[in-house]
Amino acid sequence: MNREIQLIKRPESTPNHDHLKILNTDTPQPEEEEVLLKTLYVSVDPYMRGRMNDVKSYVEPFKLHEPISGGVVAQVSDSKSSDFEKGDIVTGNLQWKEYVVSKANSLRKVDPTLGPVTTSLGVLGMPGLTAYFGLTDIGQPKQGETLVVSGAAGAVGSAVVQIGKIYGCRVVGIAGTEEKTRYLSEELDVDVTINYKQQNVKNALEEACPQGVDIYFDNVGGDIADTVYPLLNKFARIVQCGAISSYNIPNDQGPRLQMHLIKSSALIKGFTIGDYQDRFKEGFDHLSTWLKEGKLTYKETFQEGFENIPDAFFGLFTGENLGKQLVKVANPE
Amino acid sequence: MNREIQLIKRPESTPNHDHLKILNTDTPQPEEEEVLLKTLYVSVDPYMRGRMNDVKSYVEPFKLHEPISGGVVAQVSDSKSSDFEKGDIVTGNLQWKEYVVSKANSLRKVDPTLGPVTTSLGVLGMPGLTAYFGLTDIGQPKQGETLVVSGAAGAVGSAVVQIGKIYGCRVVGIAGTEEKTRYLSEELDVDVTINYKQQNVKNALEEACPQGVDIYFDNVGGDIADTVYPLLNKFARIVQCGAISSYNIPNDQGPRLQMHLIKSSALIKGFTIGDYQDRFKEGFDHLSTWLKEGKLTYKETFQEGFENIPDAFFGLFTGENLGKQLVKVANPE
């Protein structure tokens, strides 16, 4: 007895239960150089929304009537590979199934001495690396500069604000609940927080950035980005990590931004974490060192149960998660 | 008897004769380290529209009821500086006056052996340097890449397409008249031309760029830029030189572009020529060498008479100029 979650219809705007379906399926058997895995934790991430569209992108679109795949922590329950044995905890890009077979060479063992195994899906995984490379390589943070971060209390944003502090930036964090802004200011030492659902973002940003904006780490795009552009300093850098406010709006329109870039000789650079594949070790080493030293902390939000993966994913677009959103599917054996 | 052109009202959209006024004024006298200049050629440039707005930018806004200033070629008619003597041809950023006094140290002598003196306002001046640094530093052109240039028959664009060919790019040039597209293909060896006023730009661009777009040198922004973004290749570079289609549209709106940047890990970088001040000699040396070798050519469009400067400026926004738009004010003595 096994279950999987398929994409059964492509969403045109906000994804909901019309688009994802839980199906009963067989438990597969591993062949040579494969392992059978029991799914423990599933990561839901905003970028997955893009894969639900049938358009050319940096990753292939999800196929209709096939399982969704994404970041997963799992336990080896049967191994036909000499690299893994029963009981090992691994992470990889895996299909959303309670039991799943994977090629051994696409998995990575999780080192449990570095922190809870879920950190391999968060601060020591894709979101942490995204924060590290986006901020350091594109953002080029310098002591005393003003860094604005949108989606600041999410998995990526909460790492960005802390790395910004490590580099000596004055950090302004934008988020959508009081719990999030309190977390940012009280636990992550963010200098100024803005609650975009309760404050006038334009006024609050102008007040928060009397010296202008040197770096904007953008997870959201949309109206919030529009209010940042006029505040850009000469040679400002915009790290275009995400644009979650546009993901569910076909042909989203807004003020044209080219003139802001010209006026401030500013740069916007999009990226995806695969661009930095050759440097993952460097990023991982920095993140795990900072974590050990207590300079980097993290929060996780859990839902429980395989059947709640879709709701956890949908919740990303209403801002329900504080830090990394995960679904706990099963206990290790 | 002298004349000058003042900004008497800030345009909210397209500038016209309500905004610029020709006034009679006195002929000034030079003091120590100053020279009196007779204006020979005046350059009108799209960027000047931005200075007519009362907003913070990389250059101060023009002041109301004061003369406009911009690139000018002039002849020294009286000198109180040991660096210049009567008869010298100079260039500088000067007020729009028939006779104008300037500090000697803000002028540069024009070397007439390099070409007609007007080239110091075009291919060997600000537009040429803009093309050179924008394309080489931001665009990073590589052999065999596809370079798309909007405003391709203008002062900057016509230099960009040729420098692109020097670097071995396949060049697609977008312009708005048959005369311009013929100039691009017949005289500048542009591989594919698109007449945006007569063709469906989206279809034409897709056909012109079967391998996608690696570099987009953008002088115009607006609808044309919108059609380029979906065609960007992985790690594409957009040189945001201008956005002339937005200059006269307050709060111009369009499709949000962030997701295109993320999908293709692309970069947009705005700039102004002052950013490269320390490297002007390098740029000038390259441009003058290419000009001498015949690898770089140029076109100039002239209006005659000081009183026609405003119309020449207005004409930039209706695409009347082929190559560099100049106004001939007087003959040298």
The ipTM, to two decimals, is: 0.95
* Residue contacts between A and B (CB atoms, under 8 Å): 122
Percent of chain A with pLDDT over 70: 99
Query: What are the structure tokens assigned to A293, written together?
Result: 């030293």
Mean pLDDT of all residues in A40-59 = 89
Angle CA(B278)–CA(B280)–CA(B282) in degrees, nearest 5? 105
For chain A, which residues make up each domain, given as ranges? Answer: 2-119+299-328, 126-275
CB-based contact B240 A262, cutoff 8 Å: yes
Burial B158-168 (b: 16+ CB within 10 A, else e): bbbbbbbbebe
DSSP character at residue B135: I
From the CB of residue B176, how many other CB atoms can be counted at a distance below 10 Å?
22
Mutate to test the interface with A, among B137, B217, B259, B278 (most CBs of A within 10 A): B259
Given CB atoms, is B225 within the 8 Å cutoff of chain A? yes
Q: How far is B127 from chain A (nearest CA, A)?
A: 15
What would the two tokens of residue B115 be?
């070409």
Question: Contact B258/A272, CB-based, under 8 Å?
Answer: no
Torsional sign, CA B224, B230, B233, B236: positive
The answer to whether the Cβ–Cβ distance between A264 and B270 falls below 8 Å is yes
Cα of B325 to nearest chain A Cα, Å: 22
Identify the pLDDT of residue A85.
97
pLDDT tens, position by position, A184-213: 999 999 999 999 999 999 999 999 999 999
Locate A76 and state its tokens.
């080896």
According to DSSP, residue B154 is labeled B
Task: List, as one string, the DSSP characters of A38-70.
Answer: EEEEEE--TTHHHHTS-S--SSPPPPTTSB-EE
Give A258-297 pLDDT, tens digit per residue.
999 999 999 999 999 999 999 999 999 999 999 999 999 9
Rounded CA separation A9/A19 (Å): 5
Position A6 pLDDT exceeds 80: yes
* A248 — pLDDT class (breaks 50, 70, 90): very high
Question: pLDDT per residue over A11-20, tens digit each?
Answer: 999 999 999 9
- Chain A: residue nearest B264 by CA? A58
Question: A59: pLDDT confidence band, cut at 50, 70 and 90?
Answer: confident
Shortest CA distance to B53 belongs to which of B12, B93, B8?
Answer: B12
The reply to whether B206 touches chain A by the CB within 8 Å rule is no
pLDDT at B58: 64
Identify residue A143 by its one-letter amino acid code.
Q
Residue owning tokens 């552009």 = A229
Hey, are the CB atoms on A240 and B262 less than 8 Å from each other?
A: yes
- Tell me the pLDDT band of A60, cut-offs 50, 70 and 90: confident
- The partner residue sitting opposite A270, judged by closest CB among B50, B266, B269, is B266
* CA distances, B191 to each of A65, B164, B208, B231 (Å): 44, 11, 9, 18
Contact A267 B272 (CB under 8 A): no
Q: Verify whether the Cβ–Cβ distance B269 to A252 is below 8 Å.
A: no
Alpha carbon of A77: minimum distance to chain B alpha carbons (Å): 36
pLDDT in tens, A169-182: 999 999 999 999 99
- Interchain contact, B261 vs A255, CB within 8 Å: no
Q: Do A253 and B253 make contact, defined as CB atoms within 8 angstroms? A: yes
CATH code matching the domain that covers A126-275, chosen among 3.40.190.10, 3.40.720.10, 3.30.300.160, 3.40.50.720: 3.40.50.720
Residue B1: the pLDDT is 86
> How do residues A66-77 score in pLDDT, each as one tens digit?
999 999 999 999
Chain A CB within 8 Å of residue B195 CB = no
Q: Please tell us whether the domain made up of A2-119+299-328 is placed in CATH 3.40.50.2300.
A: no
pLDDT at A310 over 70: yes
- For the beta sheet containing B146-150, the strands, ordered from the edge strand earlier in sequence to the opposite edge, are A192-195, A170-175, A146-150, A213-218, A232-240, A267-270, B267-270, B232-240, B213-218, B146-150, B170-175, B192-195
Predicted confidence (pLDDT) per residue in B193-234, tens digit: 999 999 999 999 999 999 999 999 999 999 999 999 999 999
Is the distance from CB of B121 to CB of B321 less than 8 angstroms?
no
B266 touches chain A (CB under 8 A): yes
Task: State the pLDDT at residue B60.
Answer: 84
Nearest CA in chain A to B226: A256
Which residues have C-beta within 8 Å of that of residue A224, sequence separation ≥ 6?
A150, A174, A196, A201, A245
Q: Residue ranges of chain B with pLDDT lower than 50?
A: none
| Cβ separation A246–B259 shorter than 8 A | yes
Nearest chain B Cα distance for residue A225, angstroms: 10
**Predicted local distance difference test score (pLDDT) of residue B320:** 87
H or E stretch at B302? strand B300-304
Dihedral (CA of A44, A47, A51, A52) sign = positive
Any A CB within 8 A of B212 CB: no
Assign a CATH topology to domain B2-119+300-328: Quinone Oxidoreductase; Chain A, domain 1 (3.90.180)
8 Å CB contact between A20 and A8: yes
A218 vs B contacts (CB less than 8 Å)? 258
- Which residues of chain A make contact with B57, given a CB cutoff of 8 A? 263
Q: Per DSSP, what are the bridge partners of residue A67? A: A6
Put simply, whether B191 touches A (Cβ < 8 Å) is no
Confidence check: pLDDT of A46 > 70: yes
Q: Mean pLDDT over all residues of chain A?
A: 96
pLDDT of B55 reads 81
Cβ-count burial of A55 within 10 angstroms (0-12 exposed, 13-18 middle, 19+ buried)?
A: exposed
B261 vs A247, A265, A268: nearest CB: A268
